[in-house]
Structure formats: structure tokens, C-alpha cells
Amino acid sequence: MSAVDKAFHGLRHMIATGRLGAGERIPPEGELCEELGVSRGSLREAVRMLAALGVIEPRHGSGTYVSQLRPEDVIGSLSLTLELLPLTGLLEVYEIRRVLEAHVAAQAAARCTPEAVGTLFALIEAMEATDDPTKASELDHRFHLEIARIGGNPTLASLLSVFRARSRKYQVFTLPEGPELRRKSDEDHRVLATAIADHDPVAAAGAAQAHVAQTERWLRAFMPPVEEDDSKG
Amino acid sequence: MSAVDKAFHGLRHMIATGRLGAGERIPPEGELCEELGVSRGSLREAVRMLAALGVIEPRHGSGTYVSQLRPEDVIGSLSLTLELLPLTGLLEVYEIRRVLEAHVAAQAAARCTPEAVGTLFALIEAMEATDDPTKASELDHRFHLEIARIGGNPTLASLLSVFRARSRKYQVFTLPEGPELRRKSDEDHRVLATAIADHDPVAAAGAAQAHVAQTERWLRAFMPPVEEDDSKG
DNA sequence: GCAAGCAAAGTCATCAGATGACTCACGGCC
DNA sequence: GGCCGTGAGTCATCTGATGACTTTGCTTGC
């Protein structure tokens, strides 16, 4: 076993067995090097691996801390790499989204509160009011995130969040056909939110599935290639 | 932006834009250091991060290669960290599994071929024939993997594979009640495989969902803590 | 007594150099 | 023609040194 592997599995084991708890600061590099029997360089590579996977978080000048180990911490690590998949992968992701969005919509319909319904319709109105495609996309994301939150499964919510981020890269609303697509999308949102407000899981699931399928059809039809994405260079 | 971040995003960008294609060998460390303007140490940390995420793969003495960028390459990176989540996270994973296993079962019922049916029943018989809980667990895994494969969505198949691995860590079959649980599990498998063979998506989805829910109930009931897992030290 | 600012220790970040280990292809040798 | 050694290329690891950042605690001035 290589030195980096030794350090990686050693650290992971410390966390798995509870010796290092969530949120806790891990020993400084020097101590860990001695305990694990590797050099600082190898240890740092192992630390970076776990950091990329959302398990630990180094803070310059302070120390390295175990993350909260919430589902979104670990699942969020996919967001940086899922968009590297080729397009066939994206279409497969849409199939998963159809199923899961339908499920969370049904769950949300069964569990939603009046306040949650208020939030949903507020987001819809904000979406309909704006002309900025970027802002609309952001509000769309928050709308679906809110439904997933109401659904009551944080792991599922973060998984869908990652999948949506992959889809959102394609910015379908900025196309010439954008306004028309947005109008249809806004309609879908109202149908979905109404079904949730009515506590009608079947209608909500159907509306969610149809909405995802619609987006997927647009994407198949226009298929704009994604090239650059470093908006925050 | 830190040196490691610069190297990480630089490499990721090269892959995202197609400058480095799937399976291709990336330039040696020295060249990349010069191009990205970082030291070898920082570059290596970035390489390790991408390797942990399943995007690239260093081979000692040969070079560093971009992975095939298949869905399982990227999604498989979750398998090392998902088991670090606390138990509440595991139960949330089961909810996702219920939905997705039901979906793939339905898809498999719609798409399955006679050969695939033969494979399924062969696995079932092997499962029923063995007394070794570990081997039974392995065959169980292959059985569900085969259904997911028939379902036709590799991304979904690898996602479910990761989720099942998390559940399998709990080794429910090694409990005193193991034999009885296995008998019930084998029954479930026959019902599921029969529904798929009959091209009955509704029955298949129901059987799959019931099977996952059953496993989940056992886990809630017995809840054996997971401590160690370094079988391959 | 208190608050602002400063100083020092602790920690991670980065770089540079050197050596070892492994892979692979080329060419000589049998 | 096949086998084997050899050397170039590449990644793996260690060591040492320096810089940057955070945190803490103390000093200083009011």
C-alpha cells in the first residue's frame, strides 16, 4: 500500500470509528505524519483527497477540521465532476431526475404547510416578474430546492440539487426561444405548486415528472454545447 | 485563489473543454507545473483530488490518465465516503433506494430479454444454494446489479450500486436471525424476478419497493453498529 | 476596568531539490 | 524469432526551508 493510501485510509478510519468526530479539529500535520508513518507531502495529498470528497476541510492558519458529515457535504462533491460526463450521461441523469422529482413532489404534497406553500408561490411570482434569465434560473433552482426541502429528505434534496446544477449549465432560457420556454415552465410551476398546496401527491408527482420531461425535451431539441463555465475565475 | 485551486481548476478545465479527452494521458508533472504556474507539490495535490473524484488516474511509472468519464467512474467516488454518514443519513438513503429500485425494476420488466431472465434465476439459485453469508451478500449484490443493468441506465445502476454498498456494510445476514431473513429475502427475489420475466412493470416495481422496505425494517429493528471494515488491510 | 492594538505561537501553504520505484520500449543476445 | 537487459521517462516519496494566515493572550492607552 502506498504512503498516500496509508494516510488516506488511516484518516478515514479515524473518522469512521469516531475517534475524530464531526466538526472536530484533527491533529496538526506533524503529529499525523508521525502517527501514520508518512511524510508531510504524502499526508497533505491524502488530506486533499478527503477534502475533495467533502469529508474534511483545511483552514489556512487555523487547522484542519472534519466536516459536519451531512449528506450534502458528501454528495456535493459530485457537483464539480458530474458536468464532465458526456451528454449521454446527462440524459441518464434526466431519467433519474424524473423519478426522484416526482417522488419529492408527492412527499411535499403530503407534508407541506401553509407557510411552505406561501414560499413556493412567492418564488413563482418572483420568477414570473424577472426578465433576467440568470436570475430566473437561480429562482427556479430555489423553487425546486424548497420543494425538496418540504419533502423531508435532506440526502435526496442534495442529490437532486447536484443533478439540477448539471442541467442548469446548459442555460436553455438564454436561447432565442427562451421567453416562450420560460412561459411554459412558469405554467408547470403553478400546476406543481397548486397540486402540492392541495395535498394531492398523485397530481404533484405527475406535474413534477412532466416538468422534468419537458425540460429534457427542450434540451434534446436544442442541445447547446457547453464550453466554458468559469464565471468566477 | 490558492496554488492548489489553480492547478485543480486548470486541470478540470482542460478536461471540460476537451483539450484532454477521456482515456488520454495528461502531460508529465513538470510540464503541467510550468504551464499552470505551480510547484510539483501543489500540482500533485490537485491531481490527487481529481483522482479521488474518479476523474483521472495516476499510474506509477507510466503517467497520469484521464478516466473513461463513465458515470460509474464519477459516482463511484461516493462509495468511500457515504459510509461515513451517520445513521439518519442511511435511512434517507433507503428512501431513495425504494424509489429508484422500483423504477429500475419496472424498466427492467419492460426491456428484459430471455437471456437476462436466465441470468437472474441462475443468481437466485446460487443464492439459495450457498450457506456463506458473505457469498450470499455478494450474489445479492450481483442480482440487483443485473436488474439495474437490464434497466438500461448505467448512471442509475452505479448510483444504486453505491447506495447498496452502504447498506451492505451492516451485514444483516450474519445475525442470529440471518437464516430466516435470507429465506424471506430469497422469496422476494423470486417474486421480483418473476414479475420482470412476465414483463409486468407494475408488479416488478411493487416487488422491488417491498424488498427494499423489508430490508430497511430489518435494519431499523436490529440496527447493528458498524465499527470496522478494513477487510483488505 | 475596558477596549484597541500588537506580538508571538501554532498551523497550513508553497516551493525547491534529491532520491527511489516502476513502466515501457528499444536493442542486443541467444 | 524470442528472450532479456538496459536506459529513458514518469510518478512516488522524503526532507528542509520559507511564507501566509489565524488565533490567542498580553500590553498599552484611555
Q: What pLDDT is stored for residue A172 in this prediction?
A: 66
How far, in Å, is the CA of B186 from the C1' of nucleotide D30?
81
Q: Where are the domains of chain A?
A: 3-68, 74-222
Write the Ramachandran bin of B69: left for phi over 0, alpha for psi from -120 to 50, otherwise beta: left
**DSSP H helices in chain A:** 3-16, 29-36, 40-52, 71-75, 87-111, 114-129, 133-151, 154-168, 178-197, 201-222
Determine, for residues B85 and A74 on separate chains, whether the beta-carbon distance falls below 8 Å. Answer: yes
Within 8 A of A55 by CB-CB distance, chain B residues are 81, 84
For A3-68, the fitting CATH number among 1.20.140.150, 2.40.30.210, 1.10.10.10, 3.20.20.140 is 1.10.10.10
Q: What pLDDT is stored for residue A83 in this prediction?
A: 86
How far, in Å, is the CA of B23 from the C1' of nucleotide C30?
39
For B3-69, the fitting CATH number among 1.20.140.10, 2.30.130.10, 3.30.390.50, 1.10.10.10 is 1.10.10.10
B30 within 8 A of B41, measured Cβ to Cβ: no
Of A170-174, B5-9, B163-167, the range with the lowest mean pLDDT is: A170-174
Kindly identify which residue of chain A lies nearest to residue B69, measuring between CA atoms.
A85
Q: What pLDDT is stored for residue B225 in this prediction?
A: 52
Of A91-100, A116-125, B78-87, the range with the lowest mean pLDDT is: B78-87
Among A53, A67, A98, A166, which would you mutate to test the B interface (most chain B Cβ atoms within 10 Å of its Cβ)? A53
Nearest to B48 among A48, A153, A229 (CB): A48
Angle CA B73–B78–B82, to nearest 5: 160
Those residues whose C-beta lies under 8 Å from the C-beta of residue B20, and which sit 6 or more positions away, are: B11, B14, B26, B66
Q: What pLDDT is stored for residue B72 in this prediction?
A: 87
A3-68 shares its CATH topology with A74-222 = no
Nucleotide nearest A5, from its CA to each C1' = D12
Interval B67-106: pLDDT, tens: 999 988 999 999 989 989 888 878 898 999 999 999 999 9
- Report the topology of domain A74-222: Four Helix Bundle (Hemerythrin (Met), subunit A) (1.20.120)
Q: Is the pLDDT of residue A232 over 60?
A: no
Which residue did the predictor score with more confidence, B113 or A133? B113
Sheet holding B56-59, edge to edge: B25-26, B63-66, B56-59
Within 8 A of B58 by CB-CB distance, chain A residues are none
Mean pLDDT of B18-35: 95
Q: What pLDDT is stored for residue B15 in this prediction?
A: 96
Of A53-67, A127-141, A166-180, B95-109, the range with the lowest mean pLDDT is: A166-180
Q: What pLDDT is stored for residue B136 in this prediction?
A: 84
Interval B98-138: pLDDT, tens: 999 999 999 999 999 999 999 999 999 998 888 887 888 88
